[in-house]
Amino acid sequence: MSAPARLGAAIAAAAILAIGMGFGRFAFTAIYPHMLAEGVLTLRDGSLAASANYAGYLLGAILAMRARAHGAHRLCLWSVAGTALCLGVLALPMPVWLIVTVRGVAGVFSALAMVAASLWLLVQRGQARGAPLLYAGVGAGIAVSAELLVLASHLGWRSAGMWLLLASVTVLAGLAAAPAIAASGQATPDAPPAAAPALAPVAPWPLVLIYGLAGLGYIVTATYLPVLVGVALPNLNSAHVWAVFGLGAAPSCFLWHRLHERLGTRQALRLNLLLQALGVALPVLAPSAAGYLLSAILVGGTFVGTVTIAMPAAQRAAVKAGSNMMAIMTVVYGIGQIIGPVLAGSLYAQSHSFNGALLAAAGALLLAIAVSLRL
């Protein structure tokens, strides 16, 4: 396959992740403050909607374990259609329980997008070298959706109009990616890359615990950062800060892949978790515009990096564990993401501040570093 064709396939797969993850999963974070201001949701409702989405993601990941590469192109297209439908439905007036349900269904389609895009590009199309660009789609989707919402806010649109805008852009992006995705025939695999440095295997069960703590640690910031910014800095458009979060995430998979090869799993993971813990705690330590922006950069630039480091390590650890480590890791990460918003909502109800939740999340990441000593 020619270089332009390989690039086009990687971009199409990245678009699937931008839609399923950036739009379908994480755009809620930037719209959430508008829904609060309009009285559509309360903080408790938002926590339930976030947890439902993460539960849906967990369910989708479990269902997607049955997916096979030869049907990945169809799953990609279904994930786009399902995501567009969920986004469009949220533009309609509905009770809170239905919003929570739709967010749960959207989580299922997000997980399908992640699995399907990976299978399509890396296995069906045989383009292992496209992996960094593929996963950069998550951060790109977060950044683009956030800036679209900034535009909608400037135009005076309410949250319903914002959901409809995201649904419309999702349809257009899906139609743009569809021709490449629908080219489902097996491609000639890329030539094998130069041999990577051998990485030492790690202990499987400490890795599982670390990954679950990482899921809990980042998700509080990923759910509530725009709300925090809106409360503390009302003159700053919080969606801009969320866009910075996405811009930090987009290139991070390239950076952490290289650091993993250079430093090894243990050192790379510890550095990743330490920077992430600092980023999570920064809104408490430095409640200013600079502090929030640096928090967005640090957490955005590390949470995808955790996946980039831990998942390959899990593949190596599976030999020792004698079990499906990838599936176990996905489940534990999902559980951490479900616990995070519920814990944050509970702590906020007691103190009317997110400081306790952020410090607890940072503590979970520091605990993960301590567990890494047993890797």
Mean pLDDT of the chain: 86
Closest CA to 359 of 280, 258, 241, 246: 280
pLDDT for the residue numbered 195: 43
Q: How confident is the model at residue 307 (pLDDT cuts 50, 70, 90)?
A: confident
Mean pLDDT over residues 90-103, rounded?
95
- How buried is 271 (Cβ within 10 angstroms: 0-12 exposed, 13-18 middle, 19+ buried)? middle
CATH architecture of 3-182: Up-down Bundle (1.20)
Greater pLDDT, 333 or 175: 175
- Over residues 171-195, the pLDDT tens digits come to 999 999 999 998 765 454 444 444 4
pTM: 0.81
Closest CA to 214 of 140, 305, 289, 137: 305
- Over residues 189-206, the pLDDT tens digits come to 444 444 445 677 888 889
Rounded Cα distance, 171 and 176, in Å: 9
On whether the 204-374 domain is CATH 1.20.1250.20, my answer is yes
CA 44 remoteness from chain centre: 22
Domain residues of the chain, as ranges?
Answer: 3-182, 204-374
Is pLDDT at 362 greater than 90 in this prediction? yes
